[in-house]
Structure 1
């Protein structure tokens, strides 16, 4: 009887059918191991801001401009470097603009194509020819390879090079060829993308971001609390669904969500129109989406906003009562309302209520009426059966996780809950304590099982909701989510959400070391990459914590945060030499960029520089290649026996 290893070798033989094929692949893999590691880009808290996200990817977070500056520093002026950067980032728009490039004759096309070929070659030095070939567009792959690797120092080769270019231009393929070169450069400038959470909510275009991510050749996602909210709804949590729809109504992009995912919101709008009136407390925030809507549409949205809020609080109350282990009875706020006096009593103090809309509360304030049950069930069915939603959620399940250890660095979105003494804070569940790494694993298992079950009475989905708003959630990390108070109580003291001790202890090197060791990382080069909490640059806060051991890269990409943060977010680059922190200014539009003819939105700061260049053999990818080498070597010995 064959062993498992022998069965594996027989499967491997189908791919490598000769000794020569095995030896060729071994030589190729060994060569790859000694190439410099590719550049990684870390980004977090995108929050539906597709335009800004797309700009960061197109520019490689400033990496394209850096490469152009290094390559052409003695041959191009700073203005020419800016224009070439913009061309690479936005080739279609640049070429279509009459003012950006005024005189595009054959000489201009030849010059630009040669520059772009040189830049493409420079950007591909870390990669094998095979990998570069995969990054090239099919229609021009052969021609680009021929031009890239032709040595024009020899006359015959130079004539061959010029003949290809002349033929391209005669066929009026100059623009198409330049566009192909630019997109190839974009793909090669960043080798791997890490999204450290929060793709969804607050901005209108999360669906476009997800579509873009689904096409990325090399990407991973560490789930953020807002991503988990959507995954919870997909798993069947009605409370999660009402919450994400309420946020969409509050930030004025509910119609966009309806259109993007083909949701049936008609029962919700009909219900809200019947039971709710205009209420200025629930007027959606002013956004660019507001300009597209009529007064009637905004009035309807205001009523829907109220309906979703009350439905959310009812369903959350049911959850809390169903799970005493959540220890969230203090959030059963409907019990504290005096409807006749229009007041609420919290911790012994009575507050007047504003914007009250409690007319649908029954004798049991957390019970849904038959009509509400119908509306919620219809919304859940529509959400779960959306084909685009299924595609996006499956992508998050395939590419995502609660945390990731990659190239000896630890990536997670929120926090690792700690006690006031700086020790791991446990969550007690059925006699078992979960803390540190095991706490994140606990929630990941519930998220995956919940999304697999997809039922509204799914206990796993209840734990996904707790991960969104629970006191000992690694994704929330606060004492309470005071959404109710922010709507209905004017006194801002009641709005306070006390952060977990993690957010103060992460400033210390000792805590960062403790966290890394919890995840099996003992290298002095290891770092923690964190998102979730906007860095208040205006107040002097630094994104670099723990004496350089932890980086917080949520600087406020979301427009909703930019007044507080003063910037439009951070991203992080990690190449074979070390880390670079990138600061982003608000990005308005491509039109403004073309008019200004310079991209000044990026400021890089080298925060970690390795003494010795890191090779692929030293990375997570290298570990995988090492396994392939061991298997192929084993196959050679197996064939000899």
Structure 2
């Protein structure tokens, strides 16, 4: 079998010389510094802050500017240079209006950008840098990256290139290309640990940005799965997506971005709730949109109408899947419609709203004919939205339930555990799954629910599992026993609003738990980390994102404005470079306009979590392991050539 494989390899490297050259090349790559990884989670549609953090690499760009120009530039010049790298087009528009001697400014800016570009590209092979170069200026940039100061004979050559760029009126385009190249080279790999969707107004901009990113992986969050399921036609998740968009005043993304008309829903809501003020369903004021009272009233009616439909559709899944063990969530069965009260866990509560014109007390989970027609129409619109399908296909292509990467275990929420700390089992099609096998099984079922084109039982089961991942007690993406959506809407007593978390969140300071998880996922407990988000860290109450002596890191610090009052900051991000791990805490981001005009960056605090005694090299990474295997295979090929087992193709 080895010889058969070696013969195939010989077609790619047909001579001893070519095999040797590749071995030398790969060995050299193994000794390069490890590339920088950037971790973000729970961005929840906050596109402006997300794009800024992506552009500045959570402060990496600013740090590189400081390292390179520490004693040669004033602070204001460093700030201006960093802003130019973040937003080259917009910053150049302002400079062109203000700068009197633009040619001199261009020359200084170009030399500074080239110097930064040389600095950040130094950890990569020339081949990798070459592949990242913008097509229009690839040859020129490659020439300029070879330092002319080392070769006096070439000083005029380099000066000539810069002067000609300015003379031919290409300086603006060249600066933009250099700035974007620096942004690209600063971060080698981007990790998104879930929840791109909901609450913030423009998750589509985030996804469009990620689709252009050079190296990325995504670990799905429960809010992402809602939209993935809605795109697959899961009606309960269509209703969820619409309900959350109504709650956070984000119906624009439904209509304007994804081209899904909510007119049928608005018409239905006005008919059913025309005299109902729907005060409990008024939208939250958590973004910059301004609505009139009439608009708020309409959104409130839409919100209530789709919430009731959602509860009914979820009831159908719970009834269809007894193995989900969620019968206790069939709360409509516990309502006393005459008295306007509900019995929950043996206790009676008064409902704050008892107007349910579409609910039949004798059969509370049955959709009315109008609701059936409406949800069929809305579901078809989600399935046929070209842009939504494009975004969801990207989430499937780059996403998964979890990822093992460079000794780190990445997932969104939790590892479902029992009270005693053991892995929690879930029965799926007659077989019990837990730990890693549960994650793997969920990953397969989610893909079946979306990609299976037939109206088969397998597809329906996969679709139901997608909904379960949003709300189910054994879902690694949810991590709670139940979601108290109904209680929060209709019951005043906050005791009912509490959502009991999985024991994982109580045990995550335990070395034993971390060791058990690392062993389950095949990672070395001595050098591995668990990295996740999902539950915001309340720093204002003194909570730390660093758990279990730094072995487990929770990097949800409230990227979404809806959480920032609770957390006291505007999000955490993580940087993992050749020198170690750094946790970055961000303050509130005002706006892109403020960042460009006043050159204000996000105020961030960096904490060094781990500092390597020796700089990590590519050989210490997962890619390094793959390269080592390639080298071993090439050495076998070389031996086969030299022993005459395989003939060179000279």
Would you say same fold, with TM above 0.5? yes
Aligned counterpart, 2:26: 29
Change beyond 3 A, Cα 1:5–1:500:
farther
1:5-35: CA deviation from partner (whole Å, max 9, x where unpaired): 73x5566555555554443333222211111
Partners of 1:510 and 1:237 in 2: how far apart? 39
Aligned counterpart, 1:409: 408
Partners of 1:111 and 1:564 in 2: how far apart? 45
Q: Does 1:199 align with 2:196?
A: yes
Report how far residue 103 of structure 1 moved. 4.7
Aligned counterpart, 2:119: 122
Aligned counterpart, 1:379: 378
> In structure 1, the residue corresponding to 2:149 is in which secondary structure?
coil
Report how far residue 472 of structure 1 moved. 1.5
1:147-185: CA deviation from partner (whole Å, max 9, x where unpaired): 121423444311111111111111122222111111100
The TM-score, its normalising length taken from structure 1, stands at 0.95
Report how far residue 543 of structure 1 moved. 0.4
Partners of 2:592 and 2:481 in 1: how far apart? 42
Partners of 1:400 and 1:357 in 2: how far apart? 42
Which of these residues, 518, 540, 549, is aligned with residue 516 of structure 1? 518
Check conservation: 1:538, 1:566, Cα contact below 8 A.
yes
Report how far residue 98 of structure 1 moved. 4.5
Aligned residues: 637
Which of these residues, 81, 84, 98, is aligned with residue 81 of structure 2? 84
Report how far residue 74 of structure 1 moved. 1.5
Aligned counterpart, 1:53: 50
Partners of 1:532 and 1:525 in 2: how far apart? 24
1:159-217: CA deviation from partner (whole Å, max 9, x where unpaired): 11111111111112222211111110000000000001111111111111111111111
Partners of 2:201 and 2:214 in 1: how far apart? 25
Check conservation: 1:508, 1:547, Cα contact below 8 A.
no
Partners of 1:590 and 1:441 in 2: how far apart? 40
Partners of 1:435 and 1:131 in 2: how far apart? 41
Check conservation: 2:46, 2:202, Cα contact below 8 A.
yes
Which of these residues, 620, 645, 649, is aligned with residue 618 of structure 1? 620
Which of these residues, 565, 571, 577, is aligned with residue 563 of structure 1? 565
Aligned counterpart, 1:171: 168
> In structure 2, the residue corresponding to 1:290 is in which secondary structure?
coil
Unaligned runs of 5+ in 2: none
Aligned counterpart, 2:289: 290
Which of these residues, 323, 345, 348, is aligned with residue 347 of structure 1? 345
Q: Does 1:548 align with 2:547?
A: no
Aligned counterpart, 2:585: 583
Partners of 1:104 and 1:572 in 2: how far apart? 41
Partners of 1:86 and 1:142 in 2: how far apart? 26
> In structure 2, the residue corresponding to 1:152 is in which secondary structure?
helix
Partners of 1:366 and 1:108 in 2: how far apart? 69
Partners of 2:571 and 2:434 in 1: how far apart? 30
Partners of 1:607 and 1:104 in 2: how far apart? 46
Which of these residues, 266, 270, 274, is aligned with residue 267 of structure 2? 270
Check conservation: 1:60, 1:189, Cα contact below 8 A.
yes
1:556-602: CA deviation from partner (whole Å, max 9, x where unpaired): 00010000001110000000111000111111112222343342521
The range that moved more, 176-185 or 514-523, is 514-523
Change beyond 3 A, Cα 1:144–1:311:
same
Report how far residue 267 of structure 1 moved. 2.3
1:354-392: CA deviation from partner (whole Å, max 9, x where unpaired): 233411013311111222222112212211222222221
The TM-score, its normalising length taken from structure 2, stands at 0.94
Check conservation: 2:586, 2:604, Cα contact below 8 A.
yes
Unaligned runs of 5+ in 1: none
Change beyond 3 A, Cα 1:421–1:106:
same
Check conservation: 1:42, 1:572, Cα contact below 8 A.
yes
Partners of 2:146 and 2:614 in 1: how far apart? 29
Partners of 1:14 and 1:200 in 2: how far apart? 46
Q: Does 1:507 align with 2:509?
A: yes
Which of these residues, 461, 468, 490, is aligned with residue 463 of structure 2? 461
Report how far residue 235 of structure 1 moved. 3.1
Report how far residue 104 of structure 1 moved. 4.7
Partners of 2:602 and 2:498 in 1: how far apart? 37
Change beyond 3 A, Cα 1:13–1:100:
farther
Which of these residues, 534, 537, 551, is aligned with residue 535 of structure 1? 537
Report how far residue 229 of structure 1 moved. 1.6
Check conservation: 1:203, 1:558, Cα contact below 8 A.
yes
